[in-house]
């Protein structure tokens, strides 16, 4: 009930509707509010002339709305869009609920003869008055009836009344003498509210009172108000009750309206029947809206759960991030300690070397100084013979000592600089580049069923990532089983659509797809079951092993010199060299037969007919490489050829009008050729396994037409190997 409150409030005053009226645009407004927003237009100007002249621009002009009039019979019945109003410029304002409304124009000063109060206490509606809907901003001119021309919305008034009653204080017992207790029941017959003690004392469930119906107080309050409501009367004929409904005008009408002929050409139905019909339609519409509301509630629950999950995941993620950063800081501190240890070692080493050198130099300097002082004292002696006895030895000692102070002795063995430079650039760059990387596997792809299909023995599958998924995808893995519920085959790629050719006819395939990235492989999508084309023969026939396939030549894979026509069934070439063209359907299982008729055969060329892999060479004769198995034939004889090896020369050639047949039997793994419905030579090739396309090669001297969808020849029995290696 609380959600309905906004529907019950006037867009102008923001309060509950009081005497609501229905505007032609189907919006509602209080009668008093409607009087407050009336605007009077100049008497001398009609809406049309005002707009034509371009004068009197008002606040309404920005709306550029449809025109409305109360005099039309082809609209809703309350009025239609007629003249657009131009009014004196007035400032606009907003109602309590945010809807833009327009205040009334200042009325002219009343004359002396109007000093008496207006009848009923309300002033009359001025001529040429205009009202603008505060919700859709459509404007209309009021007629002589004024606001009485709008029907009252009695249903809305009743709903507002019931809503206000339901929100009122709890009902009290009517029989309690002092402080009344809260009522628990109401007797519909007695029309009295009882509390439990008073009900047991004054209304015992026995005797005549046992037949009285007791209901909850809220229900009893409503039942008190279910007295017959006053019937609605016609807005044009106030003494007439509304009894009919005009379907075209979509409004209730009275008998006098019908007698006056206002709705003579309209379809009119009984008011009660249309009431029931519209109630049913509203109930039906509410069912759909109720489903949407239920879905919205479930969605809100999902969103609220997401809020909780986001908060929980956010806390968990923050804790994980803090732990990771703390681990980085710990690692940096450990490395810092190691580097400081190296610096300390270098520091101690330098000090030791310098101190050792200082000690060594100090000793030598003391020795040198002592020698110098001794020599100076010797020089002072005046005894020549004594001096000469020791002078030579002293001279040698002086020279030897001087030599000990030679090159490098007075050079520091260690510099004071530390030859250590911390290379922090890469680490700083890594810190600056430190960011979140995708460490989650992709979500399961969604199969796009509207784009998945099969054609003949090919299957096309399409998929996409979930709409809200932000996880990076490096590629996809498509898996397809063997058509018998066996092992899945795998196709890997980056595309989101894949066509698989060469499947078995009349087979059911299961397919699924999953995505992968650097973190791993995601979950599988839902499994899709697809059915390839069925056989053209009854299942009980042994020939049902031969799938009747219809195919044409494939222009996309053909050599550029190939010329196709007749819906890609007829082919020739514009080159004198042999060129290859393949069919658009590949085979890998079953028995298949097709024919080629020779439409033109000039200058005795030797076209080749057979099968090929998808990567066969297109600019040489079919069978020249190891990707094709073919029979090439001229006007007299034929040969089988594979990987440029020619075998089994057989007499009998072709000409214009001849027919070449190709029979591919995977059940026995053989390939057979026919000319004019007769087998040409022995079995051409054996051990045929894998995926093959029908193919031919020809030059400009030949034109052929392809015939497919043919049953296998009568002489051939599929699935029974021939011990002689040939078919008769």
- Please give the full DSSP string across 34-47, using - where no structure is assigned: HHHT-EEPPTT--H
6, pLDDT greater than 60: yes
SS3 content of the chain, % helix, strand, coil (to 5): 30, 25, 45
Residue 632 pairs in a beta bridge with 608, 639
Q: What is the pLDDT of residue 2?
A: 63
Q: What is the pLDDT of residue 223?
A: 59
CA distances from 227 to 222, 230, 434 (A): 10, 9, 77
Helix (H) or strand (E) holding 52: helix 47-53
Q: What is the DSSP letter of 148?
A: G
Find the length of the chain. Answer: 728
State both tokens at 294.
């239920």
Q: How confident is the model at residue 231 (pLDDT cuts 50, 70, 90)?
A: low
| 518-565 confidence digits (pLDDT tens) | 888 999 999 988 888 765 333 333 343 444 678 899 999 899 999 999
CB atoms within 10 A of CB 39: 23
Strands 497-500 and 68-69: unpaired
Query: Is the CA virtual torsion 610, 616, 617, 618 positive or negative?
Result: positive
Q: Which of 678, 664, 673, 667 is nearest to 641 (CA)?
A: 673
| Residue 686, SS3 per DSSP | strand
Q: What is the pLDDT of residue 419?
A: 81
| Residue 375, SS3 per DSSP | helix
Residue 430 pairs in a beta bridge with none
- Average pLDDT (47-70) is 38
State both tokens at 202.
């004054």
Sole residue written with tokens 């296998």: 712
**Which residue has better confidence, 267 or 127?**
267
CA distances from 722 to 258, 448, 664, 686, 727 (A): 95, 47, 15, 12, 7
Q: Three-state SS across 543-596?
A: HHHECCCCCCECCCCCCCCEEEECCCCEEEECCCCCEEEEECCCECCCEEEEEE
Q: Are 251 and 76 in contact (CB under 8 A)?
A: yes
**Which residue has better confidence, 71 or 436?**
436
586, pLDDT greater than 90: no
Maximum mean pLDDT: which of 139-143, 179-183, 554-558, 569-573: 569-573
Q: What is the pTM of this model?
A: 0.39
Q: What is the pLDDT of residue 36?
A: 84
85, pLDDT greater than 60: no
Q: Are 686 and 601 in contact (CB under 8 A)?
A: no
CA dist 391 and 395 (Å) reads: 6
- Average pLDDT (305-329) is 92
Sole residue written with tokens 């509410």: 286
**Which residue has better confidence, 204 or 118?**
204
What is the average pLDDT score of the chain? 80
Alpha-carbon 66 to chain mean position: 38
CA dist 203 and 185 (Å) reads: 11
58, pLDDT greater than 50: no
Q: What is the pLDDT of residue 124?
A: 61
Q: How far apart are the first and last CA of the chain?
A: 89
| 493-515 confidence digits (pLDDT tens) | 899 999 888 777 778 888 999 99
Q: Are 566 and 705 in contact (CB under 8 A)?
A: yes
**Which residue has better confidence, 59 or 691?**
691
18, pLDDT greater than 60: yes
Strands 508-517 and 520-521: antiparallel
State both tokens at 24.
């032609």
């Amino acid at each position: 009930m609380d959600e309905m409150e906004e529907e019950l409030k006037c867009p102008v005053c923001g309060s509950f509707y009081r005497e609501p009226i229905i505007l032609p645009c189907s919006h509602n407004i209080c009668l008093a509010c409607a009087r407050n927003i009336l605007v009077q237009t100049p008497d001398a100007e009609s809406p049309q002339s005002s707009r034509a002249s371009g004068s009197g621009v008002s606040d309404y002009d920005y709306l550029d709305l449809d025109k409305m009039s109360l005099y039309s019979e082809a609209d809703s019945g309350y009025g239609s869009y007629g003249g657009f109003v131009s009014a004196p410029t007035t400032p606009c304002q907003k109602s309590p609920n945010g809807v833009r409304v327009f205040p009334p124009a200042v009325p002219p000063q009343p004359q002396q003869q109007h000093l008496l109060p207006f009848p009923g206490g309300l002033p009359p509606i001025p001529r040429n008055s205009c009202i603008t809907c505060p919700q859709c901003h459509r404007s209309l001119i009021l007629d002589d009836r004024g606001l009485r021309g709008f029907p009252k919305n009695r249903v809305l008034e009743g709903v507002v009344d019931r809503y206000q009653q339901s929100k009122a204080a709890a009902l009290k017992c009517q029989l309690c003498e002092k402080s009344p207790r809260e009522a628990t029941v109401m007797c519909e017959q007695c029309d009295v509210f009882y509390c439990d003690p008073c009900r047991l004392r004054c209304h015992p469930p026995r005797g005549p009172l046992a037949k009285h119906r007791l209901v909850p107080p809220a229900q009893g309050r409503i039942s008190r108000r279910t007295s017959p409501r006053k019937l609605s009367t016609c807005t044009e004929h106030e003494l007439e009750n509304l009894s009919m409904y005009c379907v075209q005008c979509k409004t209730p009408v009275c008998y006098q309206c019908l007698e006056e002929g206002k709705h003579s050409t309209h379809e009119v139905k009984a008011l009660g029947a249309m009431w029931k019909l519209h109630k049913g339609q509203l109930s039906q519409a509410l069912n759909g809206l109720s489903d949407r509301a239920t879905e919205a509630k479930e969605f809100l629950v999902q969103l609220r759960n997401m809020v909780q999950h986001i908060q929980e995941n956010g806390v968990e993620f923050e804790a994980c991030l803090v732990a990771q950063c703390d681990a980085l800081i710990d690692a940096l501190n450990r490395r810092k300690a190691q580097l400081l240890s190296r610096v300390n070692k270098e520091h101690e080493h330098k000090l030791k070397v310098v101190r050792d050198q200082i000690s060594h130099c100090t000793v030598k300097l003391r020795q040198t100084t002592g020698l110098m002082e001794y020599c100076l004292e010797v020089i002072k002696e005046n005894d020549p013979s004594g001096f000469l006895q020791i002078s030579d030895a002293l001279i040698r000692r002086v020279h030897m000592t001087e030599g000990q102070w030679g090159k490098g002795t007075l050079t520091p063995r260690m510099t004071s600089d530390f030859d250590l430079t911390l290379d922090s650039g890469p680490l700083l760059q890594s810190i600056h580049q430190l960011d979140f990387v995708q460490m989650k596997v992709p979500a399961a792809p969604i199969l796009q069923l509207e784009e998945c299909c099969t054609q003949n023995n090919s299957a096309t599958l399409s998929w996409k990532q979930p709409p809200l998924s932000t996880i990076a995808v490096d590629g996809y893995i498509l898996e397809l089983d063997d058509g018998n519920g066996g092992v899945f085959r795998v196709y890997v790629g980056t595309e989101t659509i894949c066509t698989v050719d060469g499947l078995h006819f009349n087979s059911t395939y299961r397919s699924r797809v999953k995505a992968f990235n650097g973190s791993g492989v995601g979950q599988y999508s839902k499994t899709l079951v697809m059915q390839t084309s069925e056989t053209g023969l009854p299942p009980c026939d042994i020939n049902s092993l031969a799938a009747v396939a219809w195919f044409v030549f494939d222009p996309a894979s053909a050599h550029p010199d190939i010329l196709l026509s007749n819906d890609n069934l007829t082919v020739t070439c514009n080159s004198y060299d042999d060129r290859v063209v393949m069919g658009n359907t590949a085979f890998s299982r079953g028995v298949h037969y097709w024919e080629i008729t020779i439409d033109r055969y000039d200058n005795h060329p030797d076209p080749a007919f057979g099968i090929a892999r998808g990567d066969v060479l297109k600019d040489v004769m079919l069978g020249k490489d190891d990707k094709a198995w073919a029979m090439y034939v001229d006007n007299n004889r034929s040969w089988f050829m594979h990987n440029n090896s020619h075998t089994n020369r057989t007499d009998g050639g072709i000409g214009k009008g001849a027919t070449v047949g190709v029979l591919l039997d995977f059940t026995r793994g053989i390939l057979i050729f026919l000319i004019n419905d007769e087998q040409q030579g022995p079995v051409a090739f054996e051990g045929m396994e894998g995926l093959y396309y029908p193919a031919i090669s020809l030059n400009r001297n030949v034109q052929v037409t392809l015939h497919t969808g043919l049953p296998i020849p009568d002489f051939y029995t599929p699935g029974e190997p021939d011990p002689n290696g040939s078919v008769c």
